[in-house]
Amino acid sequence: MAEKTKKIDVLESSMHAALKKRADKFSSRRQNDVKDELESASGKVNQDAERVQTIKQRRKAERDGRRDRRRQKRDNAGVEKHDEGMSTDDEETEQDYARFKSESDKVEQEASHLFDNVTEDFTHIPEIMARFEQWSLGFSDSYKEAYIGLGLPKLFTPYIRLEMLRWNPLDMHCKDLESMKWFTSLANYCQYEDLNPENTENAEKCPDMNLLPLIVERVVVPKLTQLVEHAWDPFSSRQSKLLAFLFQRLIDDYPTLTKESKHVRKLMNAIIKRMEGAVKDDLFIPMYSKAQLESKNSFSLAFLQRQFWQAYKLLVNTMHWHWMVSRKKLQELAIKGIMNRYLCMALPFYPDTFYALECAKKVVGVLPKEWLEKSDEVVDGMESFAFMLQQLAKEVIKTSLNTSSDIEKKKTKILIQKTISILMHIQAFDVARSVAQALKGERDATKFNNTFAAERGELPT
């Protein structure tokens, strides 16, 4: 079996290499698209060689084609509002898909012949299991004394890994874990549905009752870790939801999957590492002057907004793991990484302050409620976000001083109230008070003081 295990290692490596090559193509394409659009938005004369220009033109045509097809698909589905940048650009050419399928088919073909030189009684789990069932039923005492239950996970692991070669839960069409042959076989090996694992008497009746949980922990979770390392795209909303949902289901169904499990820790570390890599390598916010963004139809504004929503999408996908990853680590990644380094940079450039504040509200709305519990201080790490909102508010107030229009003054008041609301939501009370007091007229500052006092349980002034 040691020889077979080595071959399974090679087959797994080949399958994961094919998945990684596929994922790397999407990542590389995304990065090239950003570089191309940044160059287009700059308005500089293209001085590239003819060959390079041809490559860029082809990329643009392909990029525009994919966006047009996604837009048409949304129109057909009746989607009324969509923010450019929120889509996962994972469409691939027929040639690329055929190449990937050919590589994965080849691996599976080799796997199908792995046990050709092995006696039929030892080529599939059910046949092997039948022998142990006979032993357990006919000679239960010797079965228990031999501690067979401890050795079965290691015995079945190669067969399970072989069947799971092509299993990829990041694909929504992937076969459900519990419908796989190995899973149903092991589930039937010991009918422990009505047994309590914590009851020692039950454990004596069924010494193999932990077989399936151990397999999930030692085989399924490591398989997920490899898929995260090689195939998961943190920018894909679909993949991120599927991965988080599956792992949540496993955590709920198998109590052995805890933060203390070394396999679970490895998976969490792989997820964090992939998200950190996405923040470092794929996020980018362009810098423009207000003049460059004045026109609503400007390419620069569209590019800025697309990059903002892409960063926002990564923030949303990151929050799928707030129930498992430590708060400190996730806040460092989400707030200090994505929000402060990227989202905060984009919002002040928006010519429409109303829109910028609506975006800020959506960003804050993504954060888990437990992060925004009542306290006397701004949420850890969000000082920069609060300062950015304060600067937006000051700019609005400064602009309003130069107008005598009642409509503009009313608009300014609404904007400031919206800003104060967001600041109070993130517990930035002192900044919110400063913004209220900066607004022309004592009425608004007094109104805020009363609201602020109510939040603290104080009597209004």
| 338 belongs to a structural domain | yes
| 136 belongs to a structural domain | no
The dihedral of CA 410, 412, 417, 422: what is its sign? positive
CB 129 within 8 A of CB 187: no
Q: What is the DSSP letter of 326?
A: -
Q: What are phi and psi of 365, to 5 degrees?
A: -65, -15
Is the confidence at residue 448, as pLDDT, over 60? no
Per DSSP, the chain holds a count of helices (H) and strands (E) of 20, 0
Which residue would you say has higher pLDDT here, 139 or 355?
Answer: 355
| 38 belongs to a structural domain | yes
Banded model confidence at residue 453, pLDDT cuts 50, 70, 90 = low
Is the confidence at residue 330, as pLDDT, over 90? yes
| 267 belongs to a structural domain | no
* pLDDT on residue 443: 46
**Rounded to an integer, what distance in angstroms lies between the CA atom of residue 419 and that of residue 320?**
27
Domain boundary among 90, 114, 138: 114
**Rounded to an integer, what distance in angstroms lies between the CA atom of residue 182 and that of residue 159?**
8
Token pair 């008070």: residue: 433
| 299 belongs to a structural domain | yes
DSSP result, 215-261: HIIIIIHHHHHHHHHHT--TT-HHHHHHHHHHHHHHHHH-TT-STT-
264-310 pLDDT, tens per residue? 999 999 999 999 999 999 999 999 887 888 888 889 999 999 999 99
* pLDDT on residue 379: 80
- Over range 73-96, report the average pLDDT: 91
* pLDDT on residue 147: 63
Domain boundary among 82, 114, 146: 114
- Which residues are CB-contacts of 201 (< 8 A; sequence separation ≥ 6)? none
- Over range 169-180, report the average pLDDT: 92
DSSP result, 141-195: HHHHHTTHHHHHHHHHHHHHHHHTTT--TTSTTSPPGGGSHHHHHHHHHS--TTS
When the pLDDT of each residue in the chain is averaged and rounded to a whole number, the result is 85
191-234 pLDDT, tens per residue? 533 444 444 454 445 557 778 889 999 999 999 999 999 999 99
User: Which contacts of 322-328 are long-range, i.e. CB under 8 A and separated by 24 or more positions?
Assistant: 322/368, 323/248, 324/247, 324/251, 324/259, 324/268, 325/268, 325/271, 325/272, 327/370, 327/371
Banded model confidence at residue 441, pLDDT cuts 50, 70, 90 = low
User: Which contacts of 293-299 are long-range, i.e. CB under 8 A and separated by 24 or more positions?
Assistant: 293/349, 293/350, 293/351, 294/351, 299/37, 299/40, 299/41
376-393 pLDDT, tens per residue? 778 888 999 999 999 888
* pLDDT on residue 323: 87
Domain boundary among 70, 85, 114: 114
Domain limits at 366? 283-456
| 361 belongs to a structural domain | yes
239-249 pLDDT, tens per residue? 999 999 999 99
Q: What is the DSSP letter of 33?
A: H
Q: Is 415 exposed, middle or buried (0-12, 13-18, 19+ CB in 10 A)?
A: buried
Tokens of 68: 């047009």
| 400 belongs to a structural domain | yes
Q: What are phi and psi of 72, to 5 degrees?
A: -65, -40
- Over range 47-68, report the average pLDDT: 92
3-state per-residue secondary structure call for 252-316? HHCCCCCCCCHHHHHHHHHHHHHHHHHHHHHCCCCCCCCHHHCCCCCHHHHHHHHHHHHHHHHHH
| 143 belongs to a structural domain | no
394-425 pLDDT, tens per residue? 888 877 777 767 887 788 888 888 899 999 98
- Number of structural domains (the chain) is 2
